[in-house]
A = this chain, B = another copy of it.
């Protein structure tokens, strides 16, 4: 059990397979047609990733011979794969995640239903909100510390980043409310 990096794509695959066992081709379709596309798509990424996951024992593939155009390999997560997914979902949110891995955080949230634990999801959202607000403080500081001759374009680019994070903060507050209302 050596240290291994699991990429966002790996988690995306694991999550999708948890949702429903399916083939590499099916998965590709999802990436091509939905917003999940930002987590890859090309066959050159997806098939090797599935092979990796299989070698690591996180997914299992059964060849479906029944009346297929061509033998189709249907993957589903193993017990270990489900655990890996859950560990990732339950992981604490760090500053770094918010600064440089926003997309991965969103992916994590999208699969949070797997935990089936309303309290955990609320903690996730609250922690996300806190980190975003903290980072916003730093961005504001950077905005004020910009040297005088900074061109308008550069200022506006930073402003765009700030607006993006503000949108996430607002979203988190709304999401928390949504989970309060939709309760037992």
A interface vs B, CB < 8 Å? Answer: 34-35, 37-38, 99-100, 106-107, 109-113, 121, 139, 142, 151-154, 156-161, 163-164, 166-168, 170-171, 175, 178-179, 182
**Distance of A81 Cα from B119 Cα, bound (Å):** 53
Contact B168–A109 (Cβ < 8 Å)? no
Task: From B139, B153, B171, give the contact of A112 (CB < 8 A).
Answer: B153
Could you list 8 examples of A-B contacts with CB < 8 Å? A34-B142, A37-B99, A38-B99, A106-B160, A109-B156, A113-B153, A164-B164, A167-B167
Task: From B100, B113, B160, B178, give the contact of A109 (CB < 8 A).
Answer: B160
Contact B158–A35 (Cβ < 8 Å)? yes
| Interfacial chain B residues near A112, Cβ < 8 Å | 153
| Interfacial chain B residues near A113, Cβ < 8 Å | 151-154
Task: From B100, B152, B175, B178, give the contact of A37 (CB < 8 A).
Answer: B100
**Distance of A13 Cα from B182 Cα, bound (Å):** 48
Minimum C-beta distance from A161 to chain B (A): 6
Identify 5 new A-B residue pairs, CB closer than 8 A, beyond the known A35-B158, A112-B153: A38-B100, A107-B157, A113-B151, A160-B168, A163-B171
Minimum C-beta distance from A35 to chain B (A): 6
Nearest B residue to A175 via CB reads: B156
**Distance of A164 Cα from B171 Cα, bound (Å):** 9
**Distance of A40 Cα from B160 Cα, bound (Å):** 19
Nearest B residue to A89 via CB reads: B153
**Distance of A106 Cα from B102 Cα, bound (Å):** 16
Across the A-B interface, the 3 shortest Cβ-Cβ residue pairs: A113-B151, A110-B157, A167-B167
